[in-house]
């Protein structure tokens, strides 16, 4: 009996095609991840630190990645006196006019601000960027300071150094310092809390996490919208990133889960046994209106980029009423990071969701 065409077709299908289809089904690994395939490797184009919280940033060609973030980043902060409550650019836009500069040969930070009631007068003082215990005991006193309803001990600088800045703020203030290694660390909360992150991690004075990674392609995409709407181009520094990467696909960072930085040969990582620096991406960075402030002039734009971001960047389920820009990270291992190093996304996820900590 001759086989019908249909039967022959069925035999061919089951003998040849089915095993192939089964093989293809089980080996299409990227498509089985709902967050999609890993993006191609990219490159670090800028490194920024903001030594004094809420003040102007510094771009560096190279910096140490510590367990608490980039060295010199937000280790200092201004507080009110006598209640030691943190001061922030959120309600004091002019804080961005306070400019730190770093002198590597003397390892000092010079802090300047415009002197009030002068044309170009400056207030200035200089402090060690990596103070010794002895210097700290000579020039500071320890007190508990408050940041986002968290109390943490810090070194309060003598007003013989910082007193001139009372005039800039128009009230009594103090500069405080929390070293990257502390016997009483400020523990991370939110998505960086131990029960979420899986380990204990801390930072000096960032709002939430030690590191903000930003992607140039995303600021470019935002700028193309702002350009079309209001002939406006914003500098990425308004978003205060620490590590800026190049990229081709805007907003791809929304799904990043772990990152790896490939050091130049000869560099050593602080986590022995690894030759890479790695970061856990804990969450998206929900934004307030601080990016509306021009970091050079302290002028606040009435609408942008807030209005535009609100239209299309409310992308996090945990914080639906704020737009997101950039990804917050906690270092897993560290060492020297240079501009030009390769950055790889090693894991992606579709499960990012901001946990709002108490006090915010
Ligand atoms: C600390 O003060 C002592 C006593 O005045 C002085 O001898 C010492 O040089 C100071 N050390 C530093 C690092 O400033
Ligand atoms: C856009 O802004 C630039 C820089 O501020 C200005 O020179 C130019 O004339 C503006 N163009 C339009 C169409 O308003
Ligand atoms: C940013 O960088 C990545 C590098 O992995 C690139 O592939 C991606 O398309 C870029 N865009 C964003 C924002 O992710």
Count of Cβ atoms closer than 10 Å to residue 51 Cβ = 24
Ligand that comes closest to the CA of residue 342: 3
pLDDT score of 251:
77
Model pLDDT, residue 20: 53
* Strand, coil or helix: 286: strand
Contact 226, 311 (CB under 8 A): no
272 band by pLDDT with thresholds 50, 70 and 90: very low
Contact 207, 345 (CB under 8 A): no
Q: Is 17 among the domain residues?
A: no
CA distance 13 to 42: 43
Q: Is residue 358 part of a domain?
A: no
39 close to ligand 3 (CB < 6 Angstrom)? yes
DSSP 4: P
pLDDT at 25 over 70: no
Residues 113 and 93: their CA atoms lie apart, in Å, by 13
> Is 353 within a domain?
no
Q: How far does residue 132's CA lie from ligand 1's centre (Å)?
A: 11
Q: What percent of the chain has pLDDT over 70?
A: 86
Tell me the chain's radius of gyration from C-alpha atoms: 25
Residue-wise pLDDT tens digits, 157-205: 999 999 999 999 999 999 999 999 999 999 999 999 999 999 999 999 9
Whether pLDDT at 339 is above 60: yes
Q: Ligand 3 within 6 A of 253 CB?
A: yes
Q: Which residues contact 196 (CB under 8 A, 6 or more apart)?
A: 190, 282, 355
259 touches 344 (CB < 8 A)? yes
Looking from the CA of residue 135, the nearest atom of ligand 1 is 13
Strand order of the sheet with strand 140-147? Answer: 76-80, 173-177, 150-157, 140-147
Q: Which of the 8 DSSP states describes residue 58?
A: E
Report which ligand 1 atom has the smallest distance to the Cα of 139.
14
DSSP state for residue 52 in the 8-state scheme:
B
Across all residues in the chain, what is the average pLDDT?
88
Q: What is the mean pLDDT of residues 258-278?
A: 66
Q: How far is the CA of 177 from the centre of ligand 1 (A)?
A: 19
- Domain membership flag for residue 354: no
Q: How far is the CA of 41 from the centre of ligand 3 (A)?
A: 8
Is there a domain that residue 253 lies in?
Answer: yes
In a domain, 258, yes or no: yes
Say if CB 66 and CB 148 are below 8 A apart: no
How many domains are contained in the chain?
A: 1
Between 91-105, 207-221, 253-267, the lowest mean confidence (pLDDT) is in 253-267
Is the C-beta atom of 40 inside 6 A of ligand 3? yes
How far apart CA 179 and CA 2 sit, in angstroms, is: 86
Model confidence over 295-335: pLDDT tens digits?
A: 999 999 999 999 999 998 998 888 889 999 999 999 998 88
pLDDT at 73 over 70: yes
134 CA: nearest ligand 1 atom:
13
Q: How far apart are CA 179 and CA 185, in angstroms?
A: 9
Q: Distance between CA atoms of 192 and 196, rounded to whole angstroms?
A: 6
Going by C-alpha positions, the residue among 72, 99, 59, 97 that lies closest to residue 178 is 72
345 lines ligand 3 (CB under 6 A): yes
Alpha carbon 61 to chain centroid distance?
17
The boundaries of the domain holding residue 181 are: 42-348
- Indicate which residue's Cα is closest to atom 14 of ligand 3: 252
Position 128 confidence tier, pLDDT thresholds 50, 70, 90:
very high
Q: Among the atoms of ligand 1, which is closest to the Cα of residue 132?
A: 13
Is the shortest distance between the CB of 248 and ligand 3 below 6 Å? yes
Is pLDDT of 273 > 50? no
The verdict on the CB of residue 138 being under 6 Å from ligand 1 is yes
Give 42 Cα–ligand 3 centroid separation in angstroms.
Answer: 7
Q: Quick one: what percent of the chain has pLDDT higher than 90?
A: 65
Confidence (pLDDT) at 5: 67
261: in domain: yes
What is the dihedral angle through the alpha carbons of 132, 137, 143, 145, rounded to the nearest 10 degrees? -30
Atom of ligand 1 nearest to the CA of 137: 1
State the virtual CA torsion across 247, 253, 257, 263 in degrees, nearest 10. Answer: 30
Task: Answer whether residue 26 shows pLDDT above 80.
Answer: no
> pLDDT, tens digit, for every residue of 169-181?
999 999 999 999 9
Write out the DSSP string of 328-359. Answer: EEEESS-EEEETT-EEEEEEE-S---PPPPTT
Ligand 3 contact via 247 beta carbon (within 6 Å): yes
How far away, in angstroms, is 167 Cα from ligand 1 center?
29
Cβ atoms of 88 and 78 closer than 8 Å? no
Task: Look at residue 53 and tell me if it is in a domain.
Answer: yes
Ligand nearest to the CA of 326: 3
Q: Say if residue 22's pLDDT is above 80.
A: no
Q: What's the CA gap between 129 and 49, in Å, rounded?
A: 13
Q: How confident is the model at residue 14 (pLDDT cuts 50, 70, 90)?
A: low
What's the CA-to-centroid distance between 308 and ligand 2, angstroms? 19
Q: Residue 150's pLDDT is what?
A: 94
């Amino acid at each position: 009996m001759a086989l019908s065409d249909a039967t022959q077709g069925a035999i061919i299908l089951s003998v040849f095609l089915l095993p192939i289809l089964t093989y293809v089904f089980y080996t299409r690994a990227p498509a089985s991840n709902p967050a999609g395939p890993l993006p191609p490797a990219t490159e670090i184009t800028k490194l920024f630190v903001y030594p004094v919280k809420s003040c102007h940033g510094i771009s560096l060609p190279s910096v140490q990645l510590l367990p608490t973030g980039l060295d010199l980043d937000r280790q200092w902060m201004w507080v009110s006196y006598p209640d030691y409550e943190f001061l922030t650019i959120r309600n004091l836009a002019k804080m961005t006019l306070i400019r730190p500069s770093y002198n590597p040969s003397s390892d000092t930070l010079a802090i300047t601000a415009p002197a009030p009631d002068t044309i170009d007068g400056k207030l200035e003082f200089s402090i060690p960027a990596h103070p010794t215990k002895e210097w700290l005991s000579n020039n500071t006193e320890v007190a508990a300071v408050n940041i986002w309803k968290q109390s943490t001990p810090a070194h309060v600088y003598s007003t013989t150094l910082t007193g001139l800045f009372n005039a800039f703020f128009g009230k009594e203030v103090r500069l405080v310092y929390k070293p990257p290694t502390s016997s009483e660390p400020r523990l991370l909360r939110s998505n960086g809390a131990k029960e979420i992150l899986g380990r204990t991690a801390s930072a000096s004075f960032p709002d939430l996490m030690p590191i903000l990674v930003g992607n140039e392609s995303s600021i470019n995409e935002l700028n193309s919208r702002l350009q079309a709407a209001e002939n406006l181009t914003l500098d990425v520094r308004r978003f205060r990133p620490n590590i800026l990467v190049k990229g081709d696909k805007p907003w791809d960072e929304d799904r990043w889960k772990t990152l790896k930085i490939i050091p130049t040969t000869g560099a050593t990582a602080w986590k022995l046994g690894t030759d890479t620096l790695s970061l856990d991406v804990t969450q998206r960075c929900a934004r307030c209106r601080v990016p509306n402030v021009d970091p050079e002039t302290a002028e606040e734009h009435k609408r942008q980029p807030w209005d535009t971001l609100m239209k299309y960047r409310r992308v996090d389920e945990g914080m639906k009423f704020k737009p997101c820009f950039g990804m917050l990270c906690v270092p897993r291992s560290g060492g020297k990071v240079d501009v030009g190093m390769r950055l790889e996304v090693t894991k992606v996820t579709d499960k990012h969701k901001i946990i709002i900590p108490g006090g915010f």
